Amino acid sequence: MADEVPFPASFPSDNNFYRTFNGGSWTCDEDGGSGKLKELRNNLNIAFSAYSEVLKQTENIRKAYCFASKKKEEDPSHDDTPCWFFYYWLEDILPKGGKMEDVQFQSHINSICTLIKDAHEGNRCKLTCSENLNRENFKQRKTIHDYSYNYKTIEKDLLKIGPICQQRWSTHRKKVTSACKAVSEKCPDRESGGASFDDPYCKDFKDKYNFYCGAAQALESYCTKKADLEVAQQGKAQAQEQAQSTFTKLNEAESKASAASSLSSTFGTLAALEFPALAFFLYKYKPWSFWFGNHTSGNGRSGRNTRKRRSSTHNFGSSTEDTLTTYSTENSTIGPTESSTIDGIVPSTPYTRQPNKGQRNNAGSRGMVGYQNL
C-alpha cells in the first residue's frame, strides 16, 4: 500500500509558467529591429481600449508572450509546450461574469490569437486557436493540458510507490477525467463525423492528450475498486465478529441446559429400543404401579373386583416375563462377548395354577398369552 503523500501546494505548471506570467517581471526586449513586439503592445491596446479590465493586462500579455517564446527557443526541439501555457493563461486574466461573458470571452481570445500570429517571427510562439470556444470548454482543455505536464513530473514518480488514493489526489483526478469526457464528446472520431473533427485541437487531443486522460481514468478506477474492496472487507469482518458472538452465546446456552439435555438423552434412548425390549423395561420397573395403585380399573368399580384385578395383574406379569425371557434367549443378536442386560435376565418360575373353569389353557404357547394379555 502506498504511503501517505501530501497534496502539493503548487504543481510544476504553476511554478514553471503561471507564476511567472502573473508576476509580469519578465523583460521583453526588442530584437532584430523588426519592431513586432512593440507593434504587438500597440495592437493590444487598440483592441481592448473599450475593456478597461483587459487593457490593464495588455503589457503583462506582451511580457508573458516574450517569456513563453524565449522558453521555446531555448528548447532544442522548440517544443510548443510553453506556448500552450501562455494560451491557457489568458483565461485567468480575462474578465469573468456578466450576461455576455461567453460571447466576450470568445471575442477576446480570438482577437489575442490574431495579434499573436501577426507578431510571430522565427521560433516564437504561434498559437493555433479554436473558434467558437466558450469559457467552460476552454477551462476543460486547460485542465487536461496542465495534467499532462504535471503527470510527467509527479504522477509518474508517485506510481513507483503505488497509486495514491487519498481524497485530494482523487478529487484532482476526477476533475481531469470529467474534463476528458467533455472534450472527447466535442472531438468525435472521424467515423462519427461532425464539424468538430475539423477543429485543429481535436487532432492534438487524440495524438497528445488521450494517453493522459486514459491514465487518470485508470488510476481513479483503481482507487474506486480499492475503496469498494475495503468496505466489503470491513463488512466481512463485522459479519465474522457477529458469527463468533452468536457461537459463544450458543455454547453458553448449551452449558446451562446440560441437565435438560441429559434428561432428553434418556427419553431418546427409550425411543430407540425395539418393542419387546421396551415392554420388558416398562414391566421390570413398573412405572405404572403408582397409577394402578391409586386409580380404578376405569369402569367405576373398586372394592368388589379387587381380587379379580389382582389375579389378572399377576397373570399379566408372569406371562409377559416368560415371553420376554424367550425373546431374549432365542432372538438376541448381541454377540457373546458383549455385555447385555437382556442376556442377564433370569427366567421367573412359571405360574402353574390351574386355569379356572371355562378359562382357555395356553400352556403350550406362552408367548401368545403374554401378547394377548398385553
Check: pTM over 0.85? Answer yes or no. Answer: no
What pLDDT is attached to residue 296?
A: 45
Q: Are residues 15 and 109 in the same domain?
A: yes
What pLDDT is attached to residue 26?
A: 78
Q: Are residues 11 and 104 in the same domain?
A: yes
Q: Are residues 11 and 125 in the same domain?
A: yes
Domain end, chosen from 199, 234, 269, is at 234
Domain presence at residue 333: yes
Domain presence at residue 137: no
Domain presence at residue 337: yes
Q: Are residues 317 and 366 in the same domain?
A: yes
Q: Are residues 175 and 205 in the same domain?
A: yes
Domain presence at residue 164: yes
Domain presence at residue 46: yes
What pLDDT is attached to residue 89?
A: 96
Domain end, chosen from 234, 253, 285, is at 234
Domain presence at residue 225: yes
Q: Are residues 30 and 124 in the same domain?
A: yes
Q: Nearest Cα to 73, choosing from 82, 60, 64?
A: 82
Q: Are residues 125 and 33 in the same domain?
A: yes
* Residues in the chain, pLDDT under 50: 1, 263-264, 266-267, 269-274, 278, 280-282, 285-355, 357-374
What pLDDT is attached to residue 292?
A: 43
Q: Are residues 163 and 112 in the same domain?
A: no
Within 8 A by CB and 6+ apart from 150, the residues are 11, 12, 13
**191-212 residue pLDDT tens:** 555 555 578 888 888 888 999 9
Q: Are residues 197 and 107 in the same domain?
A: no
Domain presence at residue 35: yes
What pLDDT is attached to residue 300?
A: 47
Q: Are residues 197 and 123 in the same domain?
A: no
**293-322 residue pLDDT tens:** 444 444 444 444 444 444 444 444 444 444
What pLDDT is attached to residue 95?
A: 84
Domain presence at residue 254: no
Q: Are residues 52 and 97 in the same domain?
A: yes
Please give the tally of structural domains in the chain: 3
**Boundaries of domain holding 170:** 151-234
Q: Are residues 65 and 170 in the same domain?
A: no
